[in-house]
Structure 1
Amino acid sequence: MGMAYGSTHPTRLRDGEEMTGYGRPETVHVENDWYDGPRAGVANIGGEPHRFKSLFDETDDEYLGTFLVWPLEEEVLDLEREQWQIFVAWNARYESGEVSGDSHPGYHGTNARWDEIEAILKPGRDEIPASARRAIAEMTYLDREVRYANSGPAYMLGWKFLENG
């Protein structure tokens, strides 16, 4: 396996994968999953919204630095943003001590609108289209006080497509 170095952690590549240059850092609209870095969400690539999902190496039991990315329709982006805003409002209350972690809107039955949106979005998050491209990302942190805002998390991602992806 080769190594590609981004701004935070080394990125593991599969043998034979090559890279082109990173694009400029772009907006991350939604972070759906984080584990030692963003693992899934919605971000702009080339100014257009794309879903991104980190690949997991079952053999080594760890996430690779490689993502699959694919374009996202505007109406899906609108639902992702709406659900994100529910999370951001909850997180502000959680961080201020008003509510406990047990009230997270992602726990089924705690927020009806979240559950409604989740039922619509889940298939598109789980089903990766054949047209998805392999890429790695370089993170650029935003200088702001809150990690999560309605506009997205406190970082941007620059993308580098892999040649054989």
Structure 2
Amino acid sequence: MAYEPIHMTWDYWDGPRTGIADCEGRPHYFACQFDPQQEEYRDLFALTPLDAETWDWAQEHWAIWQRWEAEVNAGRLTPQSHPRHGQFDPRYNELEALIDAGIDRLRAQATRRRGAVRRRAVEGELFPGQWNRYEIEWSAPLDEDAGD
């Protein structure tokens, strides 16, 4: 297997936990599995393939986030102006609802994989204030993961 790009990270806790990454060259929604007994995230992920429409919505949604984050990092906006509150770009919430519906519609196609995340080497800022980019290498889950 080879490392593939994580295009966007929606939730982060000691690493990307939800977002969109390529798997076998196609965009997938990923959700890292939490182990309540160990009280930690595992390297096991649910992967839902995205159709073209949902992928387009996600890219538009991410572009709004990047514009907002650049404004916060430049000191022109505060974190309290988060796009979810509807003041920065009202389309953000509309897109989020469309993306969620798309993922729900495609969830029957979800698979499970193990994922090894690492920082990807990037020259300079990706956009103002954003320096880190991640990639992930997917592998089949172990037999003992089947019941999780």
Flag whether TM exceeds 0.5 (same fold).
yes
Aligned length: 140
- Superposed, 1:45-124 pairs within 5 Å as 45-108=23-86, 110-124=88-102
- For 1:85, what is the secondary structure of its paired residue? helix
Match of 1:12 in 2: none
**Does residue 155 in structure 1 map to residue 148 in structure 2?**
no
Distance of aligned partners of 1:124 and 1:64 in 2 relative to their CA distance in 1, 3 Å threshold: farther
User: Judging changes above 3 Å, is the alpha-carbon distance between structure 1 residues 70 and 141 closer, same or farther for their aligned structure 2 residues?
Assistant: same
- Deviations 1:45-72, CA, capped at 9 Å, x for gaps: 1111111101122334332221111211
Residues 84-114 of structure 1, C-alpha deviation per residue, up to 9 Å, x if partnerless?
A: 0000111111111111000111235543100
Same amino acid, percent of matched pairs = 30
Q: TM-score, normalised by structure 1?
A: 0.73
SS of residue in 1 equivalent to 2:48: strand
Which residue of the partner structure matches residue 144 of structure 1? Answer: 123
Unaligned ranges ≥5, structure 2 = none
1:129 is paired with a residue whose SS is helix
Could you tell me the TM-score, scaled by structure 2's length? 0.81
Taking only aligned residues, the RMSD between alpha carbons, in angstroms, comes to: 2.4
Candidates 100, 112, 134, aligned match of 2:112: 134
Q: Is the 8 A contact 1:25 1:140 kept in 2?
A: no
Q: 1:31, CA displacement in angstroms?
A: 1.2
1:19 aligns with none
- Following TM superposition, by how much is the alpha carbon of 1:77 offset from its aligned partner in structure 2, in angstroms? 0.4
| CA displacement, residues 2-58 of structure 1 (integer Å, 9 cap, x when unaligned) | xxxxxxxxxxxxxxxxxxxxx211122221111110001111111111111011223
Structure 1 stretches of 5 or more lacking a match? 1-22
